[in-house]
Amino acid sequence: MDTESKESESVELIRNIKDYDPSKLNNAQLADDMRICFAWYSSLRQGKKLKFTKDEVIELARKIYNEIEKRKREGKMKHDWKPEQMKKFSRELFEIISSGTCTLAKIPDGKGQLSIASSPSLAEIWIDNKNTKLLTPEAQIFLDPGSHSVKLKKPHYQDFSFSVSIVEGEKIEKFCELSPKFAVLTLFSVPSHARIFIDGTDQNKVTPETFKFDVSGSSKTLDITLKLPGFKDAEINNLALHPGDKIEKVIHLEPGTSTLSQLETLPIYPGNVSPRFDPLDLDEFLEKWNSFYFRKPFILLVGSLANWQRTEGDIDILVKARDPTPLLNALDRAIIKCFKMNEDQLADLLIQVHQFIHSDSLFLLTRWRIERAFPEWKGRIQVLDDSFSGPFTNFVELADLAAVARSEKVRQEMAQRAIRLFQWFPMLKPMHGRQKGEIYSVDSVIEVLRTRKDNWFDIGVYVQKKYDGTHCQVHKSGKRVLIFTEDGTDVTRNCPTLAKEFQQQPIGSFILCGEIELWKNGKHQPRALTAGILNASKPQPDEKDLIFNVYDCLFFDEVDIHNRPYSKRINYYQKIRETDHIKLAPFTLCHSEQCVREAIKKYSAQEGSEGAYLKRADFPYELDGKTRLNIKYKKEKSLDALVLKRNKVARTEKTYYYHCGLKSDHDIVYCGKTFNTNIKAEPGDIIKVVFVDISGYTDPKTGKRWVNWWAPRVVMLRTDKKEPDTIDTAWRMVKETTGRFEEKPMPDIKNLEQLAEFSTHKDCINFDPESHMCKLHNRLVDPDAPACPDFQPRANLSASAKRFVIQNHFRGSSSHGDFRVQLDHVLGGFTLGWQRADELKRELEKHWQLKKTKDRYEIYWDGELVYALDKRENVLQEPSAALKKRVFEFHKKLAMDPRFWKIDMNTGEELKRKGSVRDEVEKIFCVQKTREPYEWLSVEGVTKPREVEPEPGGTRFFPGIFVEVDSGTYYPGAQKPYFKEYFLDGKKWKGRVVFRLVAGLQGTKAVANWLYWKPDDQTPYVLSARAVRDNWLPSEGSAMPPEWEAKLPEELHFWKASDRKKKLELRKLAREYLIKKEVLSADDEVDFVLTHRYWQGQYVVRGLPVEDYHIKIGKHRFHLDKDPTHKFPEHGISALQFHDKDEYFIEGEKKPQSAVNPNRKIPAYIHVLDRGKAEIIADEPLYLHVRLNGKKLKGLFYFRRTSRDAEFWIFKKGMESF
């Protein structure tokens, strides 16, 4: 039978419901008919009309369900229902037909059948006082004949008990409606923060607050009292609570005297009275207060524009502050890892650190402000941070960082200054409280008004709409018009329609303040679209839809009126003629609280409104851009969100914040976290969250939508709701408000149902494991990837060996090294980029091959199929044991072949390769590992493609192959954030190896990179001259292996001393003892000499001498292009290393064509500029740290190699910051 006829038959059968026989259909037809039933049921539940009733559809679906289940039991059909992936109504139908309806189940001999369903479902089933471990709905419970007691248990609901009499061979169905165990009471007060007393007992809580009461079995009566200083006590007597009640009470407090003792609230003492100090007047303090500088200069222009006064490229601006982005990225990774490991307290702390750094970053704030100030150069301005303590070239000082003193006197002086036509001035920002400029509740607005020294209601309060647009000022004189934004950008050319209508105003000159909005077809458009039009490179077609809302006038008909009260200035801007694109902002003058509340409500409800703006009637326009005589109220939006994770705030008893989610078509999507609150909710509960701003994001990989809110406050527990709001609702909010949509990965939420049901164990977001293994290759190629937090091994009081392993980890045509060390119960360590990529890739690509077909992927080794994967990348076929062994043995042999590695696998020493002058040691970049499972210490063999934690694995298509290079025990040495020292005792690798964070390496975008090497000097760092000089000691233990501890007599075991001072003294004596024993060399001092070589240049080069400089420090020799004794450059001096020609350091005349004089006829001269002793602090292949003690060169200096195999170094003053 062809497909068409089959489909026809299926449709015919399903149309004839009464005679429908599912046993006559094949498996595919049966599954199709089940899908049709789901669709029919969903249509009926949505109110659509069908020729079948809902009961008929349910009965049909039940027949199909039973037939499918029967075939599954007989092994004739494979079918997974996956109800967790079904949509709402499909899942509802499934629960109906799957609960207590499996009539085809065979009842065992001597048994009867019990089917139980409940609302809500997922209740525990107890029979005869024993937990069956089953949850409702359950259709197949087989019991012995006779009487049985049944009890259903579910958290937050009362137990439901009944008896049932079972008859052999018969089935009994039971449906139970569970009753809530608790009543929920939520108390609000106006104003808020009233103390709550229940039945005369202080609850140590303030409004708003939610309480749960256990009222199972009977009702409960409460007497409630609210107390707030300055208000009369409010009482609610005989409030009855019944099981399942959800009661909200809003109590308006009346001004008066409270019985609440003033000692129970935070006391406020008069500011001019103190038992300890003399009285101090405000004016006296303000006279002494003055401005001061933090950094001078703070912002500088550098690069080609500063050097050549012209550029066709980027505009480089240096900010003397550090960019926290790498640290924030590292914190992001650390927070995710903490969530995965249930380290909630550490995660809480890291989140607070992240918020603090991000919100208080001077660099991020300055960069944002600079980029916003110059939209016409967007993309050209490059804001640089101060990572390397620049500037290094010519520069122009642009700005200082200063604290500018403010006082009433200063403000009055500023208010007396005039404003001038066509000169931009700062636009006002409101201030109140502790510099907060916005308020988010009407009650808070009233509270602020009450706390003001002058009575605003007597003076008068103007309330206007808070427009959701761009603040601008318009200057007009004659036919000339300029429009400036709040940051001083001239946008006149992008607003020709507005400019023309202002030109046509009959008033000769004026300066107006207002807000530009974009309206299309009568609908307000997001602020982002308005900003896009104003900041475009040329006028946009939509500029004809811009509206200028005038709300203030500061200059009118050649007269500066900014000093006049606002009540007078309003009369001037009312004289502006309204046009199609120029509108006058309406206002309401209020003299009472009630009027203010009504006006705020009125203007906040208007389309395109962000809230309301309040101005005291007598306020002058202050030209410093800040005023305490205005208040901005921003209306809040709200969403009912699902609690994904409850976080307890550290060092508090009952304060929490929450990670939340919203509902999408198939799952839950992330929507951000909340501010701290004393409202307690469980994961899986619904909470109402109010916020002031929201942004929308699309995951670039999955295409899923998610949102994040700003200033989110939890206001109540929504016990009346079972489902959160949808992502569609939030998406509409973004479109109607900010219009901010970006691409950004979404945190992946896993096992949400378990998380909601088992809150005590799953009280966290379950992110998908961030596969460290599957991303290592990319992180090595891009060393800018930040390291995760450093989990350091602890050095014990006496040297204690722990295990280590070194593995060569192959993944397709690439490989890296895994250096893993045992910590306490997990592993730490580093990933080493030790492969010579090109050579290894060419070799492995000869053997591995990937073939893609229509429905699968096939991976071959030397032409033989190893793995087959379906389109979802699930493994369909695995290799035989013989093939797997052959592949492993090849890679094991390859792992020890020195042609492909930068490290000698037998010793751990770096291999050398030919350089331009001599054999050079190559850099071995590393990435610090996160915590890993202890089991990875003994991994060896072949793992499947795509395999992730807790197993280490391969790439998307290729398997992971682990070859153990060495293993054994290790002792931790010095452990610093930027320096790690290990003493290995393996089968092959022995001795001291180090990992160090090195800054400024070429060939990488990262600020700093970890590097590995095995030093020639095997002395423990703790015994080095530098450690002694810097007073560095390990927090615990000796930081040495046992063989070094044994070199010291018992009385010099400094690590056993009881106090730090004693430890330092003994460690110094220990070093001196080892020097006398000639175990250590003396203070690593060598001679250094700096010389100057020059000869007279030709006349064509103005007769100036040709000159250069050379410095010799011990065995090291460098050619310098600048004199380091004369204004040592901040950015350093280029240094070329050479290895012979000591003649450069011998004074005197040098004959032409000699070893140090290349001229044919002109003599050269060398004389010594400086000489003295040098202490070698660190001498490694990639850098040299020294302390010079000459007549001119004194202090710390370092040389750092610029790139792999290079003879060029950078010579800088000071020590590296890493």
DSSP 777-828: HHHHHSTTSPPPP--PPPPPSS---EEEEEEEEEETTEEEEEEEEE-SSSEE
**Neighbouring C-beta atoms of residue 499, cutoff 10 Å:** 21
CB 843 within 8 A of CB 900: yes
Contact call for residues 679 and 686 (beta carbons, < 8 A):
no
Residue 781 located in a structural domain: yes
d(CA 699, CA 37): 34
Same domain, 751 and 797: no
Examine residue 515 and state whether it is found in any structural domain, yes or no: yes
Angle between helices 593-604 and 442-451 (to 10 degrees): 140
> Which of 572, 600, 634 is the last residue in one of the domains?
634
- The DSSP code for 426 is P
Q: In angstroms, rounded to a whole number, what is the distance separating the alpha carbons of residues 699 and 851?
A: 29
Give the integer Cα–Cα distance in Å for 668 and 1050: 64
Same domain, residue pair 687 and 800: no
* 472 within domain boundaries: yes
Query: How far is it, in rounded angstroms, from Cα 1114 to Cα 1019?
Result: 20
Instruction: With H, G, I as helix, E, B as strand and everything else as coil, classify residue 1037.
Output: coil
Distance in angstroms (rounded) separating the CA atoms of residues 807 and 497: 70
Asked if 512 and 570 sit in the same domain, the reply is yes
Mean pLDDT per segment of 10 residues, for the chain of length 1218 residues? 34 62 86 88 81 81 87 85 80 74 63 82 86 79 90 85 89 81 83 84 83 78 86 87 82 75 40 52 69 80 80 85 84 75 71 76 85 76 79 79 61 55 86 49 80 82 92 94 89 94 93 94 83 85 94 92 92 92 94 92 88 92 84 85 85 80 86 86 91 83 85 84 90 77 74 34 27 29 31 41 90 89 81 85 88 86 87 80 89 89 89 54 80 74 61 68 91 88 93 83 67 87 86 88 90 88 90 84 78 69 67 90 84 82 85 85 89 82 82 87 72 62
Give all strands (DSSP E) within 432-508, no chain letters: 438-439, 461-467, 470-477, 480-485
Q: Are residues 1177 and 1127 in the same domain?
A: yes
Q: Domain of 701: which CATH number?
A: 2.40.50
**Does residue 847 lie in a domain region?**
no
CA distance 936 to 952: 7
> Which residues are 317's β-sheet partners?
301, 383
Alpha-carbon dihedral angle through residues 292, 298, 299, 305, given to the nearest 10 degrees: 120
495 in the same domain as 453: yes
Distance CA 868, CA 878 (A): 7
d(CA 979, CA 796): 19
Domain boundary among 1015, 1039, 1054: 1015
DSSP H helical ranges for 710-827:
727-736, 752-757, 776-781
| Residue in the block written with tokens 């498996």 | 27
CATH of the domain at 192: 2.60.40.1120
Residue 73: Cβ within 10 Å count: 12
Kindly tell me the burial class for residue 412, based on how many C-beta atoms sit within 10 Å of its own C-beta (0-12, 13-18, 19 or more).
exposed
Determine the Cα–Cα distance for residues 1099 and 9; give it in Å rounded to an integer.
Answer: 104
Question: What is the enclosing helix (H) or strand (E) of 514?
Answer: strand 509-520
Name beta bridge partners: 835: 901
Same domain, 961 and 941: yes
802, 1042 in Cβ contact below 8 A?
no
Task: Please state whether beta strands 160-166 and 146-153 pair in parallel, antiparallel, or not at all (unpaired).
Answer: antiparallel
| Separation in Å, CA 383 to CA 294, 305, 320, 368, 935 | 20, 14, 10, 9, 46
Is 1043 inside a domain boundary?
Answer: no
**Residues 686 and 792 placed together within one structural domain of the fold:** no
What does DSSP assign to residue 900? G
Query: What's the rounded Cα separation, in Å, for the pair 824 and 660?
Result: 34
Q: Are residues 424 and 392 in the same domain?
A: no
* Number of separate domains in the chain: 8
How far, in Å, CA of 899 to CA of 519, rounded? 68
- Same-domain check for residues 1205 and 1168: yes
Tokens of 354: 């992240």
Residue located via tokens 């995965």: 340
In whole angstroms, give the CA distance from residue 174 to residue 178: 13
Residue 1051 lies in a domain: no
| Residues paired with residue 698 on neighbouring β-strands, in sequence order | 705, 743
d(CA 617, CA 573): 15
In degrees to the nearest 10, what's the CA dihedral of 583, 588, 594, 598?
Answer: -20
- Cβ 755 vs Cβ 764: under 8 Å: yes
Residue 594: C-alpha distances to residues 450, 589, 597, 622, 1091 (Å):
13, 12, 5, 29, 85
Looking at 40, 65, 98, which one is the last position of a domain? 98
Residues 590 and 739 in one domain: no
Question: Is 695 within a domain?
Answer: yes
Residue 689: what residue type?
Answer: V
Identify the CA nearest to 1073 among candidates 1092, 1049, 1104: 1049
The residue type of 854 is K
Residue type, 1044: W
b/e code 1195-1209 from CB counts within 10 Å (16+ = b) = eebbbbbbebbebeb
- Asked if residue 765 belongs to a domain, the reply is no
Query: Would you give the DSSP letter of residue 1141?
Result: -
User: Does 804 share its domain with 952?
Assistant: yes
* Same-domain status, 906 and 1005: yes
Amino acid at 593: E
- Domain containing 657 equals 648-757
Which of these, 534, 518, 428, 514, lies nearest to 474 by C-alpha position? 514
**DSSP line for 1073-1129:** HHHHTTSS-SS-EEEEEEEEEEEEPPGGGTTPEEEEEEEEETTEEEEESS-TTSS--
Q: State whether residue 308 is helix, strand or coil.
A: helix
